[in-house]
Structure 1
Amino acid sequence: MSANKNILVAAEDVDDTNIVRELLCKEFDQVFISTDPDKAVQDFEQHSPAVLVLAFPTLARAQSYYLGLYRLSARAHAHPHRTLILCNKAELQEVYSLCKKDHFSSYVLFWPLGYDATRLGMEVHHALRQVALNEAETPTTSEFAAQARRIAGLEALLEMSLTQGSEHIAAGQQVVEQSGDDIRVALDGFASRFSTQGQQQLREAEGVDISVLELLQSEFARLQTEQIDVHLRTASSALQPVSDWAKQFRQNMAPEMESVRGLQQLTETRKPLVLVVDDDAFQHKLVARLLKDAGVELMFALSSQEAMAAIHRRRPELIFMDISLPDLSGIETTRRIKAIESFASIPVVMITGHSKKDVVVESLKAGACDFVVKPFDKAVLLKKFSTLLHME
């Protein structure tokens, strides 16, 4: 499937929008515009842009448009895209700060009109490239680390299987040797009946000629030496190649197991990524302090919009989601995360200050798997981390 290269320019002034569109059309083929606020959602969902250019004259209007799009569109949050905001010099520092927080992907100092038009094209190229990379079906770091942890158990499994196989081979050899001893004892007992004393007893009891007895005794001795012993040795030696194979297999696998151990060491340096979504920055600091030795990497978001941007940037292995967020509720945000196929398997734990039944029910319906109540208890947090991240 070809990469999405659609570009949508959103603004309220038609003339400004057309100027931006003409600049972009010099380098890009699929450039569309959206100037009617009542059709903002319709335009976005119709064109499904890889890059959304916000060409509003002020930051406040750009924020209002994008927040409205996020709240009203059922697809904007799930559709992979990059957002470029065109700003003026007076708002440059604030825009820069918002981009650092992932409210927007990047910015261009554009107003007064065309202040840095060349950089606009370059930023769009970068944005399209990033979207194409994100859409490529390559494993994320988290997914790779999870698979590596499973592979790391291969060495122990192979070693256990080889040990069990060697034990079975040794047991089989012992059985063959014991069977040989038992057969020899039985034959010796049977042959003893044809000893001098046995012959005398048989001759007196049965009247058998002694020459016949001597012949039978000789035949049994030959049978044991030339037939039974040979077959027992053959059976025993037949197990030896299997034993040799097991030893050789262990030797051949040694370099591969060394690679597995190296992969395991690399995996251990990569900590599981956990996203904490809470509109209270103090709670971020508190969680970071409580979990500083938990063996996980933390990233934080203050709102639903920040959380979705963070997830699209780096896929976490676990999400802690506050019920109350400033833009969308934690329940609705969880529902939207679970609606995206590539994120649906991420476990979400709801953060709440209460445990009302309706909140619990709605959270579970949205896809949450567990709850944690404020104020945070370190032992409880660590237990949930260990269980959900399979770190025990």
Structure 2
Amino acid sequence: MTELNDLTPKRAAILVASQSVADAELVGKLLQDEFHNVRLSTKPEFAVEDFEQHRPSVLVLAFDTLEAAQRYYIGLYRLSTVVHETRHRVVVLCNKHDVWTVYDLCSLGHFDDYVLFWPATNDAPRIRMSVHQALRIMTAKEQAGDFTPRAAPAGVSAPKPPRAAAPAEAETDTVRLGRQASGEQAEVHASPARQPAAKAPSAAPQRLAVLVVEDDDFQQKLIGRLMNGLEIDVLFAGTGAQALEQMWEHKPDLVLMDVGLPDTSGVEATRKIKSIGQFGHVPILMVTGHSERNIVVDSLKAGAADFLVKPFDKNTLHEKLRQFLPALALS
């Protein structure tokens, strides 16, 4: 017989996930007066570990954009084997511009409920009521004998049973594991270790990816054109926040980081990326129109590997790329 969870406000596990410590703490404080088992998850590299350790009955997504909330939740289903079997409800906090979109997502079962919360809420108790309602629904289902785990978001399938890694897979680094988890090369790794020759996967090398963090459209197009002819997938981000999202989604092999960004400095964005263990090895080249000593020093302290001073030409850019992407230098 399946054991009932304790879904009372004093015992029910609540997890607040956010990319901002301040936002998570704000939401946590609003909930802690009535719910006594609230935990926060604010470091992307520990997202799966936090969920698996806490096993929340209610997951509150307190991200500043709906896109970030969706990416986080889909990431859980792609990287965790526990989330598929953990009964939980999802409450997402949104702004007024995303109300109809998140309504549609809730109607489709991607999330369970939403609260109009950002930038500042005039109805603070609403989030508490949403959590209360989630626990009541779960209690009613369990009392009725319904212990069905929550369905995965659309387009995300359940993970396959673990198997012993082949020698080649055992040598795969963290970046490649992240790409496999996001769906790339799924056909190759879902196949048995021994295959008939006709079904063997292609031996074509993995394409490299370079993230260009630049808010000027003209500069984005210029750098993109300068990379024409190279076996590289070029990604773009216009802000520091978008850069971090691209890092988690695409796991690029190198970053070109503009010093001036609309939401933060390139130095601070570099420091944030380098603080995440999975990205510590990714070289970041600062792109700047000047080379003042303080910018150079601050960038190097933040973890930058080198600089590109504007304006630069195709040969200079290609030389830098080959310097920091050995696989490209051999192509």
Give the conservation status (yes or no) of the 8 Å contact 1:322–1:350.
yes
Pick the aligned partner of 1:120 from 108, 111, 116: 111
Residue 290 (structure 1) aligns with: 226
- Structure 1 distance, partners of 2:314, 2:27, is 44
User: Is the partner of 1:120 in helix, strand or coil?
Assistant: coil
Residue 14 (structure 2) aligns with: 31
User: Is the partner of 1:346 in helix, strand or coil?
Assistant: coil
Pick the aligned partner of 1:389 from 296, 312, 325: 325
**Are the structure 2 counterparts of residues 325 and 47 from structure 1 closer, same or farther at C-alpha, using a change threshold of 3 Å?**
same
1:335-360 Cα offsets, whole Å, 9 max, x none, are: 11111111100000001010000100
Residue 363 (structure 1) aligns with: 299
User: Is the partner of 1:355 in helix, strand or coil?
Assistant: coil
User: Is the partner of 1:381 in helix, strand or coil?
Assistant: helix
Q: Which runs of 5+ in 1 are unaligned?
A: 1-21, 56-61, 68-76, 97-106, 145-258
Give the conservation status (yes or no) of the 8 Å contact 1:87–1:109.
no
- Structure 1 distance, partners of 2:153, 2:298, is 37
Question: Is 1:280 aligned with 2:216?
Answer: yes
- Structure 1 distance, partners of 2:14, 2:291, is 49
- Structure 2 distance, partners of 1:336, 1:115, is 32
**Are the structure 2 counterparts of residues 285 and 109 from structure 1 closer, same or farther at C-alpha, using a change threshold of 3 Å?**
same
- Structure 1 distance, partners of 2:248, 2:93, is 18
- Structure 2 distance, partners of 1:297, 1:66, is 22
Letter in 1 for 2:204: L
Question: Is 1:342 aligned with 2:325?
Answer: no
* Structure with the largest fraction of helix: 1
Q: Which runs of 5+ in 2 are unaligned?
A: 1-7, 29-38, 48-58, 78-90, 115-149, 178-196
Question: Is 1:266 aligned with 2:204?
Answer: yes
1:113-166 Cα offsets, whole Å, 9 max, x none, are: x98384423998546997x98xx999579647xxxxxxxxxxxxxxxxxxxxxx
**Are the structure 2 counterparts of residues 129 and 264 from structure 1 closer, same or farther at C-alpha, using a change threshold of 3 Å?**
closer
Give the conservation status (yes or no) of the 8 Å contact 1:140–1:315.
no
Q: CA deviation at 1:32?
A: 5.1
Give the conservation status (yes or no) of the 8 Å contact 2:214–2:261.
yes
**TM-score normalized by structure 2?**
0.51
Give the conservation status (yes or no) of the 8 Å contact 1:334–1:368.
yes
Pick the aligned partner of 2:23 from 40, 51, 56: 40
- Structure 2 distance, partners of 1:86, 1:354, is 40
Question: Is 1:353 aligned with 2:278?
Answer: no
Residue 102 (structure 2) aligns with: 108
**Are the structure 2 counterparts of residues 66 and 293 from structure 1 closer, same or farther at C-alpha, using a change threshold of 3 Å?**
closer
**Are the structure 2 counterparts of residues 263 and 386 from structure 1 closer, same or farther at C-alpha, using a change threshold of 3 Å?**
farther
Give the conservation status (yes or no) of the 8 Å contact 2:15–2:41.
no
**Are the structure 2 counterparts of residues 362 and 41 from structure 1 closer, same or farther at C-alpha, using a change threshold of 3 Å?**
same
1:280-304 Cα offsets, whole Å, 9 max, x none, are: 1221111111111011111110001
**Are the structure 2 counterparts of residues 306 and 54 from structure 1 closer, same or farther at C-alpha, using a change threshold of 3 Å?**
same
- Structure 1 distance, partners of 2:261, 2:76, is 23
Residue 53 (structure 1) aligns with: 61
**Are the structure 2 counterparts of residues 84 and 143 from structure 1 closer, same or farther at C-alpha, using a change threshold of 3 Å?**
same
**Are the structure 2 counterparts of residues 118 and 346 from structure 1 closer, same or farther at C-alpha, using a change threshold of 3 Å?**
closer
Letter in 2 for 1:40: D
Residue 317 (structure 1) aligns with: 253
Q: CA deviation at 1:376?
A: 2.9
1:200-249 Cα offsets, whole Å, 9 max, x none, are: xxxxxxxxxxxxxxxxxxxxxxxxxxxxxxxxxxxxxxxxxxxxxxxxxx
- Structure 1 distance, partners of 2:40, 2:154, is 15
**Are the structure 2 counterparts of residues 109 and 359 from structure 1 closer, same or farther at C-alpha, using a change threshold of 3 Å?**
same
Q: CA deviation at 1:332?
A: 0.9
Letter in 2 for 1:31: I
Larger Rg belongs to? 1
Give the conservation status (yes or no) of the 8 Å contact 2:62–2:93.
yes
**Are the structure 2 counterparts of residues 43 and 366 from structure 1 closer, same or farther at C-alpha, using a change threshold of 3 Å?**
same
Give the conservation status (yes or no) of the 8 Å contact 1:272–1:297.
yes
Give the conservation status (yes or no) of the 8 Å contact 2:16–2:61.
no
User: Is the partner of 1:109 in helix, strand or coil?
Assistant: helix
1:141-199 Cα offsets, whole Å, 9 max, x none, are: 9647xxxxxxxxxxxxxxxxxxxxxxxxxxxxxxxxxxxxxxxxxxxxxxxxxxxxxxx
- Structure 2 distance, partners of 1:85, 1:309, is 18
Pick the aligned partner of 1:376 from 312, 315, 318: 312
The alignment covers a number of residue pairs equal to: 212
Identity of aligned residues (%): 30
- Structure 1 distance, partners of 2:323, 2:290, is 23
